[in-house]
A and B are shown apart, each in its own frame.
Chain A
Amino acid sequence: MPFILTYNKKVRQALEAPANLSIDVLVILGLAGLLVAIASLLGHATAPRPQGVEIHLQFRYLPLYAFFSVSRAVIAYILSLIFTLLYGTITAHSRLAEKFMIPLLDILQSLPVLTFLPGLVILFVRLFPTSWLGLELACVIMIFTAQAWNMTFSYHTSVRAIPDALREAAAIQHLTVWQQFRFLELPASMIGLVWNSMMSMAGGWFVITVEEAFTLNNVDYRLPGLGSYMNQAQLDWNWPAMIAGVLAMITVIVVLDQLIWRPIVVWSERFKLEDVSSAEVSHSWFLQFLRRSRFLKWAGSLMRRRSDKAEIAAHVQIEPMTEQSLKKKQIQRGIVSWIVVIALIALAGWGAFTLARLLAQLPIHDTPDTNGWLAVLWALVLSFLRVFAAVTIGALWTLPAGVLIGLSPKWSNRLQPIVQIVAAFPAPMIYIMVIILLGKMHIAFTYGCVALMLLGTQWYILFNVIAGAMAIPSDLREAARIYHLSVWKRWTEVYIPAVFPYLVTGLITAAGGAWNATIVAELVSIPGRQDHIAFGLGYLIDIAVANGQFPLETACAVTMGLTVVIVNRIFWKRIYRLAESRYSLNV
C-alpha cells in the first residue's frame, strides 16, 4: 500500500534547488558514513560484554541505539533474502525437492517464532560467554526466523506463476540456470519480494524489541538498542525517556519507509507483468533526489557494462545436445535434488528423534521439579482462550471502524499510512506502561494480559479491513442506496460480505501474532516488583527456560506449534476458501 507522506512546498523546493555537485557530496558522505558505521558495529560485536548491561537513558544515546536496532534488522534481512533466493531457486528447479520443502515452509511459517527465543539466547550465550557476539547472533537469527518464511513463499509463488511462454522462450534461447534466475525468475518475483520484505521488516521490529529487552531469572541478557532503551525507561518510570523512545521508534519506521522502501517500490514498478502501462504511478522524492547524483549514475553505468558482458553470453558457443550430455544433466539434477531431500529428511529425523526423547521425559502429573503434561494441556486451553478473546475483541471494533474508514476516501487517505506505522510499531515496547494502567484499574492480570496481546495484533485486522472497504465497487454501494436498504441491511448484506476475504486475512495474521505475543505477555518481570503472571503456554515456556527444564520447554513449544498448524489447516484454510469462492468480488 502506498505510504503517502505529504511534505510542504518549502522542503520540496529546497530539494530541487541545489546544484548536482552538492547532491554528489551528500551521497558520498552518506556512503562513507555507512561504511564507518558498519566497521564500528563489527568492532562492538566482538568487544567483551560486561555482566550487568547498562542502558543509558540520556537522549544523546538514542541515535546510537536506533542505529544498533536497525543494523540488526538489516543484517537479518540480508540473511533472509539470501535464504529466500537459494531456497526458492531449488524448489523452482526440482519437483522432488519442492514436494518436501514447501510443506516444511508452511509448518515453519505457522510456528510462533518467539517459542525459540529463550532457548536460542541461552544456547548462544553458552557458546560465546564473554563477548557480545553470542547475544547478537541469537538476536539476528531470531529476527531471521520472523522475516524469512513469507518472503520465501512469495518468491516461490511468483516463480510458479511465470507464464509458460516465457519459460519456452528461455529454453529455446538455451539460458543457463543462472541466466534464468537473472532474467526470468528474479524479475518476475521482484514485486512480491518488495512487498513481503516490507512486511518482514515490520514483523522484525516486534522480535527485535523483545529480544533486546530480554531478561530471565534476573540474568540480564539485554542488548543496547531501542527495545532495551524503552525497557529501561519504563523500569525507571522516566516519562520523558519513554516518550522519546516511542518517538525514536516511529522516526526509524518512517525514515526507513521514505529512504529505502518507497524508492524500491517505485523502482520495482518496471517488473509488473502487465501488458499496458498503468495510469497510476507512485512517486518517491528520495529516489528522484538520488537519481540526480552523477556519482551514482557513473557507478551504475560501470556495473551495467560489466554485467552486460557476463550475462548475455553471445560469445559462447553452445554445443548441440547429445544423448550423453542430456543424460548427464539429468543425473546431475537428480543428484542435487536427492542430496537436498536426504539432508532435509535426515535433519527432520534427527530433530524428531531429539524431540521425542525430550517429550518422553515429561511426566504426566506435576512434580516438584517440573510441571507435567496435564499442566501443559491446561495451559494450552487458557492460552487458546486468550488468543481467541484477543482476536474477537480486536475484530469487534476494527471491523466497523475499518469499514467506516475505508468507505470514506478522505479518511482512508489520511489514516492508512498512520495505521501502517502503528502496525509496524512493536507493542512490547510499551507493555510496562499498560500493565501499570491495568493495575490502576484493578484488572486481574490473567485477563489484562489479553490487552497486551491485543495491542500488537488488532492493527493487522484494521488495515486489512480498510483495504477491503476501499475495494468495494461503487456500484454495489449505489445499488444499496437505490433499493433503500436500511443501515443494518447495508452492513449485513453489503459491507461485511464484501470485506469478508480481507477480514479473514487480517484474522489469520492477528491470530498468529497473538500466539507469538503469549510468550512475552503471559510473564512480565519488573525488577523490584512482583512478576505479573498469567498461567498459560507462554508463561510455561518462560519459566521452563529460566529453570533449565528442557522437556517442559519442548513440550510447550511443540504443543503451541501443533495447535497453530492444526487450527490453520482445519479452520483458517476452510474459511479462506469459502471467502475466496463465495465472497470474492471477482465474479
Chain B
Amino acid sequence: MTATENGSPISEALDVSMVYTDAETGNRLLVLDKVSIAVKTGEVLAILGPSGSGKSTLLRILIGLLQPTSGSVLVHGKPLVGIHPGVSLVFQNFALFPWLTVDDNIKLALNGLNLDAEQAKERVMRCVDVVGLEGFEKAYPKELSGGMKQRVGIARALARAPELLCMDEPCSALDVFTAESLRSEIYRMWSGGQSKLPFQPKSVVIITHHIEEAVFLADRIVVMGTRPGRIRTIIQNDVAHPREYQSPPFQRMVQRLHDVITKEQLPDVPEPTTPPAPETGMPTPAPIPAVNLGHIFGLMEILRDHGSEMDVFKLDMLTDYDFGHTIAVVKAGELLDFLDTPKNQVILTDTGRKFLDGDINVRKKMFHDQLLTLPTFRFVLRLLEEAHGHRLSKEIVEEELCVRLTTEDVEKVFTTIVGWGRFGEIFGYDAASEELYLDDAKTPEESGATAT
C-alpha cells in the first residue's frame, strides 16, 4: 500500500474528548483528552498504547459507534453522521454470530450493498478463499479454533469492500503461534506488491498494545499515553519492505518505541534535594496500582534470581502477564521503595533485598513501615483515628477516596488498600459488616507515622 497525500483524510478526529459518567456513583472518568488524529488515504496506521489509554474508544469514535463528549469527527472533510459509510471492523473477540455458519456470517455483512444473489454468492466465495477457509463454509463458529474465527472476522470485514478497514487488537485473543501466523498473513494481504485481495481498502487502522506488531504492519505509529488517554507522539515507520523481525532497522524502531513508552510509563523522578516539610493537616492520597502483594514479591524474587537488575521488557517476557500489568507491578514495587526504575531498567533496592532476606515477621515489620510512608495509607489511618470507635464503613472510605482521586476506579483501589493494609497490619477489615477498623491493640508509638 502506498501512501498518497492527495485529498482530505479518510477519517479525522479533531480535539475529541470522552468522559464516562458512572450511572451508580456519578464518578466522571476522563477517557480521552483533546485527541486529534487524521487517518490519511492510503496508509496503514497503528494506534499503540497500554490498556486504559482509550484507544478502543478512539477507534469507535472514528467509526461513529460512539459520540464524543466534545470535539468533532470528519469524513473526507465533512462532519460524520451516524456510522462511517465505508468502514469495517475486525473485533478482538471475533464477534461472530454463534448461530450462523461461516457463510451466513459473511453473507450477513453484505447487507445493504446493492448486490444481486449471484454477485453476493461470488463475493462470499472470494472472501472465504482469501482467508484460506475453503471447506469450512458450513461450519459453525463453535467448531472453529480462535485463529480460524478471526479469519472469518477478517473475511466478513473485507466482504463489505470498505475504504477504511479497522482492526481492534486482532491478534490479542490468540495464542502466540496463531497470532504470529495471522500477523504474517495480514501483512501479506496488503503490502508486498501483488495482493490477492479482491477489494483493497484504502486505509487501515490497527489498534494494538504489541510494539512489534505495530512496527511490522504500520506505516505510521501513534503512541498513546494513559489516564487520561492522549497522544504522546506520532512516529513515521520508515523500515523498508519486506519487513523482518531480526533486521537491524526493525530492531532500532522497536527500541525507539520502547524508549518512548518507558519514558511515559516509568518517568525518572530526580531525588528531592531538601527533605519534605512535615505534614500538617490531612495527607493527600495518591493513586495506588491495583496489584496484589503476591505478584510484587514474586517479581522481586525473579529479579533477585537474575542479578537484581534487568531490562523491563526482558522482565515482562519472563512473566505471563501482559505488559500493562507488569508495569503496574513494577510501579507498585517502586512506590514501596523495593524497586528502582532508572530508564529501561528495574533494579532491586537495598530495602528490597533486606525484605527478601527476612523471615515473615521481618517482612511484615518492613512492609508496615513502608506503608506508613505512603500518603494514601496515612490518609486512611487518619480517617480511622478520627472516627467513632475507630471503625469506618467501606462506603465512607470509598467516598472520601473518590473525591480526592478523581480518575481512579475506587472499588479496585479500596480492595488493594485493604489487601496491603491487612498484610502490613495497619488496619483490619471486617467483610461481614464491611467495615475498616483500627487494631486498638497496637499502641500509638508502634503505628505512629514517621516520615522518612
A292 touches B (CB below 8 Å): no
- Does B95 lie within 8 Å of A169, measured CB to CB? yes
Nearest chain B CB to A265 CB, angstrom units? 15
The 0/1 profile, CB within 8 Å of A marked 1, for residues 104-116 of chain B is 1001111111111
Give the chain B neighbours of A166 by CB distance below 8 A.
Answer: 95, 97
- Does B81 lie within 8 Å of A323, measured CB to CB? yes
Select the stretch in A98-106, A125-133, A313-321 that faces chain B. Answer: A313-321
B99 touches A (CB below 8 Å): yes
Given A174-B111, A183-B108, check contact A270 B85 (CB 8 Å).
Answer: no
A277 touches B (CB below 8 Å): yes
- Does B120 lie within 8 Å of A183, measured CB to CB? no
Give the chain B neighbours of A316 by CB distance below 8 A.
Answer: 111-112, 114
Rounded to whole angstroms, the CA-CA distance of A326 and B376 in the bound complex is: 48
Nearest chain A CB to B424 CB, angstrom units? 25
Residue of A nearest to B112 (CB): A318
Select the stretch in B86-94, B246-254, B262-270, B340-348 that faces chain A. Answer: B86-94
Give the chain B neighbours of A172 by CB distance below 8 A.
Answer: 63, 65, 83, 87-89
B117 touches A (CB below 8 Å): yes
A58 touches B (CB below 8 Å): no
B98 touches A (CB below 8 Å): yes
A residues 271-326 in Cβ contact with B at 8 Å: 271-277, 309, 312-318, 320-323, 326
B100 touches A (CB below 8 Å): yes
- Does B97 lie within 8 Å of A171, measured CB to CB? no
Nearest chain A CB to B84 CB, angstrom units? 9
Residue of B nearest to A582 (CB): B432
B60 touches A (CB below 8 Å): yes
Give the chain B neighbours of A175 by CB distance below 8 A.
Answer: 108, 111
B322 touches A (CB below 8 Å): no
Give the chain A neighbours of B100 by CB distance below 8 A.
Answer: 183
- Does B115 lie within 8 Å of A314, measured CB to CB? yes
Which among A274, A275, A276 has the greatest number of chain B C-beta atoms within 10 A?
A: A275
Give the chain A neighbours of B354 by CB distance below 8 A.
Answer: none
- Does A315 lie within 8 Å of B116, measured CB to CB? yes
Nearest chain B CB to A578 CB, angstrom units? 11
Nearest chain A CB to B378 CB, angstrom units? 32
Give the chain B neighbours of A326 by CB distance below 8 A.
Answer: 81-82
Rounded to whole angstroms, the CA-CA distance of A314 and B160 in the bound complex is: 10
Give the chain B neighbours of A169 by CB distance below 8 A.
Answer: 89, 91, 95, 97
Nearest chain A CB to B80 CB, angstrom units? 9
- Does A184 lie within 8 Å of B97, measured CB to CB? yes
- Does B142 lie within 8 Å of A317, measured CB to CB? no
Rounded to whole angstroms, the CA-CA distance of A271 and B142 in the bound complex is: 11
Give the chain B neighbours of A273 by CB distance below 8 A.
Answer: 98
- Does B93 lie within 8 Å of A312, measured CB to CB? no
- Does A168 lie within 8 Å of B89, measured CB to CB? yes
Residue of A nearest to B91 (CB): A165
Nearest chain A CB to B67 CB, angstrom units? 11
- Does A163 lie within 8 Å of B95, measured CB to CB? yes
A568 touches B (CB below 8 Å): no
* A174, A274, A313: the one within 8 Å of B98 (CB): A274
Rounded to whole angstroms, the CA-CA distance of A275 and B160 in the bound complex is: 25
* B83, B99, B114, B141: the one within 8 Å of A315 (CB): B114
Give the chain A neighbours of B414 by CB distance below 8 A.
Answer: none
A173 touches B (CB below 8 Å): yes
Task: Count residues on chain A whose CB falls below 8 Å from chain B CBs.
Answer: 35
Residue of B nearest to A309 (CB): B117
Interface of A is mostly: loop
B313 touches A (CB below 8 Å): no
Give the chain A neighbours of B423 by CB distance below 8 A.
Answer: none
B400 touches A (CB below 8 Å): no
Rounded to whole angstroms, the CA-CA distance of A183 and B113 in the bound complex is: 18
Task: Count residues on chain B whose CB falls below 8 Å from chain A CBs.
Answer: 38
* B93, B110, B120, B140: the one within 8 Å of A165 (CB): B93
Nearest chain B CB to A401 CB, angstrom units? 31
A residues 354-370 in Cβ contact with B at 8 Å: none
- Does B142 lie within 8 Å of A275, measured CB to CB? yes
- Does A187 lie within 8 Å of B99, measured CB to CB? yes
- Does B98 lie within 8 Å of A173, measured CB to CB? no
Rounded to whole angstroms, the CA-CA distance of A174 and B140 in the bound complex is: 23
* A163, A168, A173, A277: the one within 8 Å of B108 (CB): A173
A94 touches B (CB below 8 Å): no
Residue of A nearest to B156 (CB): A169
B430 touches A (CB below 8 Å): no
Nearest chain A CB to B173 CB, angstrom units? 10
Rounded to whole angstroms, the CA-CA distance of A272 and B141 in the bound complex is: 11
Nearest chain A CB to B157 CB, angstrom units? 9
- Does A315 lie within 8 Å of B97, measured CB to CB? no
Rounded to whole angstroms, the CA-CA distance of A326 and B97 in the bound complex is: 27
A179 touches B (CB below 8 Å): yes
Nearest chain B CB to A63 CB, angstrom units? 38
- Does B85 lie within 8 Å of A320, measured CB to CB? yes
- Does B99 lie within 8 Å of A271, measured CB to CB? yes
Nearest chain A CB to B106 CB, angstrom units? 10
Residue of A nearest to B432 (CB): A582
Rounded to whole angstroms, the CA-CA distance of A165 and B81 in the bound complex is: 21
Rounded to whole angstroms, the CA-CA distance of A117 and B95 in the bound complex is: 47
* A271, A277, A321: the one within 8 Å of B81 (CB): A321
Nearest chain B CB to A308 CB, angstrom units? 9
Rounded to whole angstroms, the CA-CA distance of A316 and B111 in the bound complex is: 7
B143 touches A (CB below 8 Å): yes
Rounded to whole angstroms, the CA-CA distance of A174 and B108 in the bound complex is: 10
Nearest chain B CB to A141 CB, angstrom units? 34
Give the chain A neighbours of B81 by CB distance below 8 A.
Answer: 321-323, 326
* A187, A274, A314, A318: the one within 8 Å of B97 (CB): A187
Give the chain A neighbours of B114 by CB distance below 8 A.
Answer: 314-317
Nearest chain B CB to A107 CB, angstrom units? 23
Rounded to whole angstroms, the CA-CA distance of A315 and B114 in the bound complex is: 4
The 0/1 profile, CB within 8 Å of B marked 1, for residues 129-173 of chain A is 000000000000000000000000000000000010110110111
Complex A-B, nearest 9 residue pairs according to Cβ-Cβ distance, in ascending order: A318-B112, A321-B82, A165-B95, A317-B114, A314-B110, A320-B85, A314-B120, A187-B99, A314-B115
14 A-B pairs with CB atoms under 8 Å apart are A165-B93, A172-B83, A173-B108, A173-B160, A174-B112, A274-B98, A309-B117, A314-B115, A314-B117, A315-B115, A317-B113, A320-B82, A321-B82, A326-B82
Further 10 A-B residue pairs, CB within 8 A, beyond A270-B99, A309-B117 = A165-B95, A166-B97, A168-B95, A173-B111, A270-B140, A271-B99, A312-B120, A316-B111, A317-B112, A320-B85
